Structure formats: structure tokens, C-alpha cells
Chain A
Amino acid sequence: MYYLIASALIALPLALAGCSDSDDTNNPTTAEPATVSEAGQAVWPPDNGDAPETLDTHLTRTNYMVVLDMSGSMSRDNCSGSYPNKAVAARTALGAWLDGVGREDNLGLVVFDNRGVNVTVPLGRHNRDHFRQAVDEAYPNGGTPLYDAVEMARGQLATQAEAQQGYGTYRLVVITDGQHSEGQNPTPQINAILENPANPVEIHTIGFCIERSALNQPGRTAYQSAKNPEELADGLNSVLAESQSFDPIKEFQADDD
């Protein structure tokens, strides 16, 4: 299933041939990764003191929360490849991607467009038609309130995580074309996710000509531009929890000595 999702998303950047975005220039994070103990001592989802009313019957469910930028600049054709504009490119990519989302997965959508920023489709399972309709009806206009949009998506995932007792897979997929509006820098929320070692939310960014952004932090977020689609594919493939075979590990024991 993940391969299907990945393939659909790969299709978008491949269609953006000729896009003029530059190479990622963000510096890779050099901080040491958290240890398992450090992750165990951290808390996520936040403990608000109230137990969820009901637990999800499938505690390890996968959740996708999509943030779709339909700001005014998405009506332009720069970086849109063979599509008439970026809005059409985004709709096309999401439509194909949706086919690969599992029936048991949760899916939600935050859109910012001419109607402002809203949780257009709350995280849930039986909402695919609603999702398609919401994407189709989004009309590019207005600013880029990335802070508010990411905050809404983050909240949806955290609430669902309470119902799943923190188990499961959580993916925040952001489709955007550029810089945030004034006062809408999403860096605080993105870093709050990344700097909590217990927070498992994966951030996947599909960028239209983005050069620098909190949403593009090599090693910490999975950023997809037109020039490196394989990275996105890797990011959306599910990882294996355990080694499939036992290989001697003396090599790195020796390194550690």
C-alpha cells in the first residue's frame, strides 16, 4: 500500500519538469539522535488529564493529516511543470495519492484558501468522497497561514493519538508553494514535533520551489522537490521494525570500544 502512495506522490514532482527551485540549502541537523531511554521518558500525546471517551479498536492504525496550501500564489504556473498551475498539480497529485490510502487508515485535510484556514475534513476513515470534494472545491486565493494550518493538523493527530494510546503511525503531509504569511512561521510547531523524541509524527513536505523552510530539514523532515523524488518515496515507505535476519554486529561493537 505504501508503495502505491509513494508512487502517486512521485508522479507529482516528475510532472514538474523544469521547475526552477534550487537545491536544498538547509543545513542537516547535527544534534545527536535521542536514545531509546530519552524517548521513553518523554511524553506524547500530551497528557491533558482526561482519558479519551473511547479507545480506537485498532490501536496501531495509520493516520494521514494533509495540509493543502491553496493560497493565491498557487494559481500561478511557475514550478507547475506540465500543469496549468500549481493548484491543478496539487489536486491531481492528491487525487492519485488518495487511491493508495488504506481503507482502515485515518485521513484528514486542512485547507487554506479563499475561505480561510479550516479543518475541512476531520481525521477519519469513511470520508474519502468528502476528501476528494474538498480538494476539488479548494480555490486558490489569500495568504499562507502555515502556522495555523500546521497547528490544526497537529491537534487532529494528537487527539487521535490519545484514542490510540500513542501507538500507530502518524504522518503530516504538507503541500505548499512557499513562504508563510507574516506571523505564520510554522517553525515552532514543526520543531515542537521534531524535538520531542516521543512524538512519532512524520513530516512529509511536497514543496513547490521552496528553498528554505522549517518544513525542509534534511534528516528531520522528508522533503520532496522536483529533483529528488526518490527521497519522498523512501519517506513514505513503511520501515521494518526488526532485522529480518541476524547479522553479527561485532563490527560496530568494535567501533564503540
Chain B
Amino acid sequence: MFATRPLTVLVNLLVAGTALVAGPAAAADDAKANNKPLADSLSPRVEACRSEDSLTVPLRTSGVDVVPLAANGYALETQDDSPFADAGLDVTLVPENDIARQVQDYLSCDMPIMRGTQGMINAVADLTENDERTRVVGLYQHGFSNGGDALVVRPGIDNPADLSGATLVTQAQGPHLSYMNRILADARKTLEDDGGTWQAPDIRYTEDLRGLGGDTPASAFLDDADIDAAFVIAPDARVLTSDGTTGTGAEGSVKGAQTLLSTRSANRVISEVYVVRADYLEANPDQVRRFVDTLFSTEESVREDVVKQIIDWGAVGQYLLDDAGATQAAEQMWGDVETAGLQGNIDWANPDKPRSWKSINDEIQSGLVRRNLMQSAYSLKLADLDYASLGDDLFDQRRASLPGFDSDKTTQVVEDLNESGDLDQKALIDFDIHFKPNQTAFPPAEYRQQFERVAELASTYGGAVISVEGHSDPLNYLRQKHDGASQSKLRSIRQATRNLSMNRAIAVRDAVMAFADDQGEAMDESQFVTLGHGISEPKTGMCGGDPCPPDTEAEWLSNMRVTFRMVNVEAEASSFTPANSW
């Protein structure tokens, strides 16, 4: 449905429906165009917050915003018998995607809550953190983008390392800044680890986010062949790449364009949150607590109602997409996110967790300061809520887990990539682990640095596939064959090498999972594809139909290995199970 409905219209309608302060908004636009911190050109009015009976909350066009809409009875004003009404709350939801406009209402206390990605919240921290009253307090994590955002590239950009020296486009102060920073940081490390030299990309910024018209990343990518890559929302990515394949050049697509990465694999980068003003929280603690409590219970209900197919997708389309007929697109938006739920928020509030409020903020601020989009770093507060105590009435106290994988499909994906030679190209990280003859044990301590990197990447790229491929050395087989061993014996040796290689792969997988567990980051076993290649892919190569014999002891030992890769598999999203399904 998005493919035939230019989203610029929707954005413009949303913008038109929001009260604007002409001066600051214009100033904000200058800041975007000039790629400066928002605070350099925006001087909004600051007012103190007081105790209030009603609560005004922004609504963003994201799948996770189905939850507050459902809590309000699928309306902008709280409906009777809705979850918010049952909690004694009077909530007004205000559609507003622009963080520059949100922050002005926030500072004037017309809207004491901001709704955005953590990247967007950090991008306005220069304006909020220098006044104790207006300091942001992390309140609630809705969840993560899980396929809703993508990086579309022109031909020639085959892997993230190719972004070195490229020209990129993204929305200024938009939801993709943190995503971009993370991808570029990882790409740089991959390139430099392989001995390459990283060149800083030329980054261009647009005013708006969505649609193929106006000042948006998708429009810029479409019109300007000098732009190599664009950070866009998934519906725009589908149009640019001819429905998620390779752009044909027709109907709004760019010839040869493909989705290089999406938040389907990097599904722990774009964190969708609410923050509240410090003085408002202090003056209205009970109201804010009931607000969060209701979000938890409604999040659980929404997931159940999706399965029961009783979600009012027409209302979701009307308020999030300004089109009550956009029910299919509304449903797709829900499929492109993964809600955190109670357990996810407990983890988010724990600073020791790799994707906590604090650790994500630290990562984002590092990138924003480096790109001059933030004047300095800040320590953002977190609400002193005991999240666990809020979930007493929940049935499903699930831990926000990494998405499950269809084992057969992911295995097939890895085998296909291996056959086409694309496995290395798509790897976020790859390294070999070596073994002694006929051994499956190895010293994990020698690989600690690589394992730490894997755990770090796994916490972010929860949708990436981890391939662990074991190999054996063929010398024994070749010698036996040369010496005239029976077919029976040769078959047994071949199978023994397969078994040995598989056992090596399993040993490495188990060691990595145990390491991650020790680091407090449980990994999903279904994310791993373990394969035992036996002697069919020796490091020393093939000579005709059989392996080449190793010429030296070093070559002989090099064949006894496990190759570990974390791989982006964007084109094979069908290998994932729906993140928000029960």
C-alpha cells in the first residue's frame, strides 16, 4: 500500500495539523540544513511544570505507538472503558514526528513528555540538560525497530566497509542518526581489522524523513546519482528497490538499488522511548507511574489482540498514517517493530546490560558529538521506577528475547551464500579458530578478544545469522586413498572428518554462548548455523575432485579449523519468525 501512496503527503498533513511557532521552527530548519547542533539556532521558551490532572503525550508514526493508541481506546482523547480511563488517566495523544517541534512543547511544558528514538532524544539534549527542571528522565522503552528502517545503496556498495568515502544521506535529528553511527563505526572496524584505511563518508542531511517527494533521504537518493546510500524507512526502501528486490529504475525505484542492511538484522539499534521532564515527574509521580503501568498491561494485550485479529487497524491507520484505509500498512508497521515489554524494560533500566538506556545513550552521544550534532555529552537520568513491581498483574512476563530463526531456512541461506562466495562479503566479523589433530577442544582464552566483539555485536545485531563452520584436514584420507584403502574405509574416514568438523563447530558455538552468558548477554541458539564441512573445503584448496594435500605442517594445521562469521542476511528476512508473535 505504501508503494503507491507517497508518504510526503502524510508527513505534510501531520505537520499541518500541529500548532507551530513560526520563528523557532524556521531556525530549526536552518540547523538541519547546516548540520549544526539544534541548540545553536533554537532558543525556545522554558516554563516550569506543575501538577496536572491531564497528560498530553506525543504520538509517533511507529508500530510501537499502537500501544498508547490502544490504551486510549483507539482515539486521541481517552475513551470511556479504555485502559487509560480505567487507570484514572486523562491522556491526549498528539501526532508529532518532528523532534524539534516536540522539544519546544516540552520546554514550555505544553507537553511534558517526549516520544522519540533515543537518538532523537539525545539530539536535543543540549536544549534540555542545562536546566534542572527540563532534564529528560528516561521513562519507558517501547521497543526496537525490527525491519522498519533500512540502508538502501546503489550498485558498487556491496558491504558496509564500502561506505568508506561514500556519500550518504539521512534526516537531520531523525531516528536514523544512531543507526548510521553504529553502522559506520562497525564498518570502519571491520575494514581496519582487514588492513584497510577508512575514509570518512560525506554525510548529507534532509529536513524530513519519509516519502519520495520533498526534502527526504529517499527523494535525495532518487534524484542525485552522487548519493551512494540513504537511510530510509522500510516502506520507502521497498519502493526504491522495486519491492525489496533490486531497483529496476521504474515506478520510483533506483536502477540497481538494493537494501544493504535493515533493522531486521540490526534489531537492537533504534530504541523507541518516552522521556518525561524532571520537574513534571516530581510533581506528578503517581500519574506518571499509572501511565507506565498501563502501557505495560496494554502492550501485553495488544500482542494478544494481534493474534486474535481484533486490533482496530483502521484507527491505527487514521492516527498514525492519517489514512483510515491504510490498514495493511498499519499492520506492517507493527510487524516492523519488537516491543520490549516488562522484562525488556527491566533490562533497559539496568546500566550493566549491553543495550540499556545508559549504554545506548553513551553510544549515541559519542557519535553525535563527533559529528558536531551535539555540543557535549550528558548523563541522562532514568526514572526511579521499580519496573518489576509494575508488572504484578501481567500474565506474560516475557523477557524481550532475540527473534527466533527458522533453522532450516537459515542453514539454507548460509549454504547459498557460501556457494555464491558472498558469505565473507556480508560478514560483520569473521575469524578462524584452530585445533590440534582429531581434537575438538580449544583454548577459549586465546580468543577472548574476538568473543568480546561477538558478544558486543550480537547485542546489537540480534537478527544477524551466526555461521560456525567446522573443517578437518584431509591428509589422512589422501594417504589412505593413495595407499589403496578400501572404499569402505575411505567412506568411514570421510564421515569421520564430517563428524569431527561438526563437533568442532558445536564446541565453538557452545563456548561463544557460554562467554556471552558470562557477560550477561544471553544469545539465542537458533541464531547460530553450525555446519561440518569435513574435508570438502580445506584451506589448502581442491585439486580436481579431492582436496590438495598440505605441503607443510603449517598448511596441515591450517585445515583443522572453525570459521566463525556473523552475517547480515537482509534479503532473506523470511528466515526470521515474527518478532512480536507469541
Q: What is A's interface to B at a CB cutoff of 8 Å? A: 29, 31, 33-40, 51, 55, 59-60, 166-169, 194, 197, 199-200, 202-203, 218-222, 235, 238-247, 249, 252-253, 255
> CB distance B502 to A59 under 8 Å?
yes
25 A-B pairs within 8 Å (CB atoms) are namely A36-B477, A36-B494, A36-B546, A40-B536, A60-B499, A60-B502, A169-B496, A194-B487, A200-B491, A200-B495, A203-B488, A219-B488, A221-B488, A222-B488, A235-B488, A240-B496, A241-B493, A242-B497, A243-B473, A244-B438, A246-B553, A249-B549, A252-B478, A253-B549, A255-B482
- Indicate if B451 sits at the interface (CB-CB under 8 A): no
When C-beta atoms are compared, the residue in chain A nearest to B551 turns out to be A249
Question: A243-B479, A249-B478 known; A36 and B488 CB under 8 Å?
Answer: no
> CB distance B499 to A244 under 8 Å?
no
CB < 8 Å neighbour of A241 from B482, B499, B506, B551: B499
When C-beta atoms are compared, the residue in chain A nearest to B543 turns out to be A256
> CB distance A38 to B475 under 8 Å?
no
| Shortest beta-carbon distance from B71 to chain A in Å | 40
Question: A59-B502, A219-B487 known; A239 and B546 CB under 8 Å?
Answer: no
Contacts of B490 in A (CB 8 A): 33
A-B contact sample (11 more), CB < 8 A, given A169-B496, A244-B438, A249-B478 = A31-B487, A34-B487, A36-B534, A38-B545, A200-B498, A202-B492, A221-B488, A239-B492, A242-B437, A242-B560, A243-B476
| Shortest beta-carbon distance from B131 to chain A in Å | 58
Q: Number of contacting residues on B, CB 8 A?
A: 48
CB < 8 Å neighbour of B536 from A36, A55, A221: A36
Contacts of B551 in A (CB 8 A): 249
When C-beta atoms are compared, the residue in chain A nearest to B557 turns out to be A246
- The distance in angstroms between the C-alpha atoms of A240 and B438, with both chains bound, is 7
Contacts of A246 in B (CB 8 A): 475, 550, 553, 556-557
CB < 8 Å neighbour of B546 from A35, A51, A166, A243: A35
When C-beta atoms are compared, the residue in chain A nearest to B552 turns out to be A246
CB < 8 Å neighbour of B545 from A36, A168, A169, A247: A36
Q: Which of B342-383 contact A (CB under 8 A)?
A: none
- Indicate if B474 sits at the interface (CB-CB under 8 A): yes
Contacts of B489 in A (CB 8 A): 239
When C-beta atoms are compared, the residue in chain B nearest to A200 turns out to be B495
Task: Convert B135-169 into 0s and 1s, putting 1 for each residue whose CB lies closer than 8 angstroms to a CB of A.
Answer: 00000000000000000000000000000000000
- The distance in angstroms between the C-alpha atoms of A168 and B475, with both chains bound, is 21
> CB distance A37 to B542 under 8 Å?
yes
- The distance in angstroms between the C-alpha atoms of A61 and B351, with both chains bound, is 43
CB < 8 Å neighbour of B535 from A36, A194, A253: A36
Contacts of A203 in B (CB 8 A): 488
Contacts of B472 in A (CB 8 A): 241-242
